[in-house]
Amino acid sequence: MSEGIEKLAEQVSDASNLEELTQPILDVLQRVTHLESTYVTTIHEHEGVQRILYSRNSGDLQIPEGLQVPWSDTLCKRALNEKRFLTTDVPSVWGDSEAAAALGLKTYLSNPIYTDEGELFGTLCGASANTIDVSDAALEVLALFSRMIGHQASREQLAREATARATAAETRASDMQFVAEIGALCLSGEEPDQVLRAVSQSFKSRRAWQYAAPFQLPEVSPISVGQAVDGIDASHLTTPELLAAEDVPMLPLLIETLNMARFKEGYAPTFLSPKHSGAELRAVAKRSGIGDECELFVLTLAHGTDLMGGVLLISQPGGLDDTEKTMVQSCWQTLTLFAEREVEHEMLEVANAQLTLHARHDPLTGLPNRRYLVEEMHRMLSHAARAGEVVYVAFIDLDGFKKINDQHGHDVGDDFLEAMAHCLKKAARTGDLTARYGGDEFVMVAVNDEPVSEQAQQAIAVRIEQAMSGVLKLPTLTLDYPGPSVGVVSWQGDTIPDADELIAQADKAMYGVKQARRAERS
């Protein structure tokens, strides 16, 4: 069993998707429960169906992956409604179930899987044609596995949503060769002005447009109140900077177009026609040599709600057809895609970092877990062997923790463990490694370049004992804790020892200290 759990821990830490996480879970669950079949389902309530996503079958009972059944009368739905998550006599409890009768089920195990948002994702189940006595410990493992699968499903859903947004924009861009070209320019460009110049050149090659003027909005270049450009009041705007000298005559038209877009659409890209947009725009367009029959569009480059720049597009007389307008809208979406990708990339990195953190750290205390401890100890021992340093391993057992837990409840017990972890971290020095080994046991590893000595071992033990004893102010009560039992061992040499062996030696030393403390109290 322990070998299966250790193997599962390794596979979970390496799992990159739901299937890689689920398959070893089903294997371990089968060993824990002794059921013939273990499987994960997804529930689609809006479709009224339940599907077998992954399954593991070891006997005559076969529950195939991909099987789809109506959700309305499944055993899982009955178990969920009745909160009966373990049934060892299916014929007596659910004798009217045709599916159960057809499979000859006697033992049925089901636990709901919820996403991090609390939505029902599916179930983690086990079944057998025999009567199997499933232990309470196995049920706890089942619940833990359900939460793990729910967390992974949530992470993948976030990843799919982020990917879907990027894919949707990319799909729209790929519908037209020109949009793909604009996308390539955006992806290859390093600076906004470089991208905007390249995009404007691409639009100039299209016969539908007579002008494509790239511009930027400098971060600090406000127009003074009351100042006007060619008669256009722009006191509320930052002065746009046209990137091509030949486009400077278009500055008044750009400002007026931005002015109208700002108040009408909040800078969202919109097509404007001088003929249908009022006297001011018609007058500015006329002074700029643009006729009433043209259409204007500001292809904006934005990050969040900040307008960074864009390209002022002016169509040929006669306006634009719907296909060209759709293409322009797609180009605008492509122009902002690189910013969206950056944000989504950061989101994915955060999600991956959290997955790694959870796999290597204790969720309650935040300390490295047992797996991480052993890995890091191997690195520290290797370095110490090369450098001739001494490695000290302290094993800490929180005496009296069970009594605290039983007397005050698990919430106080958790608060106590968190407080002890904090005290241990305070006792550690730069370069020391602290970890939660399991339950009420902790480990600290320290490296010293001074000769090994009993005094150094004792000093480490005293430092830890003093840091982890005394009055503790927990959120709901105050405890006067007499301190833990601490055993310390040391190692120095050329041959790197096994980390688990050193920990076991420290554990043995701790046990000796614990026995001595008990003798003193008696």
pTM: 0.41
Distances (CA, A) of 247 to 200, 244, 314, 330: 11, 6, 12, 24
Give me the CATH code for the 361-521 domain, please: 3.30.70.270
**Architecture of 175-344 per CATH?**
2-Layer Sandwich (3.30)
| Residue 147 Rama label (left phi>0; alpha psi -120 to 50; beta) | alpha
State phi, psi for 452 to the nearest 5 degrees.
Answer: -65, 140
Buried b (16+ CB within 10 A) or exposed e, 130-160: eebebeeebbebbeebbebbbbbbbbbbbbe
CA separation for the pair 176, 331 (Å, rounded): 10
Residue 331: closest CA among 269, 244, 272, 273 = 269
In the chain (522 residues long), the average pLDDT of successive 10-residue segments reads 53 73 92 94 94 93 93 92 93 91 93 94 95 92 93 90 72 65 82 88 91 82 37 55 88 84 58 82 86 86 74 89 86 76 66 78 93 94 93 96 94 96 95 94 94 91 96 94 96 90 96 92 75
CATH topology of domain 2-154: Beta-Lactamase (3.30.450)
Residue 211 makes CB contacts below 8 A (sequence gap 6+) with: 204, 247, 250, 290, 312, 313, 314
pLDDT (0 to 100) of residue 303 = 66
CA separation for the pair 358, 15 (Å, rounded): 12
Question: Is the CB of residue 327 less than 8 Å from the CB of residue 209?
Answer: no
State phi, psi for 51 to the nearest 5 degrees.
Answer: -120, 140
State phi, psi for 369 to the nearest 5 degrees.
Answer: -90, -175
pLDDT (0 to 100) of residue 3 = 52
CA separation for the pair 379, 445 (Å, rounded): 12
Question: Is the CB of residue 272 less than 8 Å from the CB of residue 261?
Answer: yes
Find the distance separating the first CA and the last CA of the chain, reported in whole Å.
38
Question: In one letter, which amino acid is 160?
Answer: R
CA separation for the pair 27, 20 (Å, rounded): 12
CA separation for the pair 412, 472 (Å, rounded): 12
Residue 84 makes CB contacts below 8 A (sequence gap 6+) with: 78, 93
Q: What stretch(es) of the chain map to CATH 3.30.450.40? A: 2-154, 175-344
CB atoms closer than 10 angstroms to residue 444: 25
| Residue 441 Rama label (left phi>0; alpha psi -120 to 50; beta) | beta
pLDDT (0 to 100) of residue 266 = 47
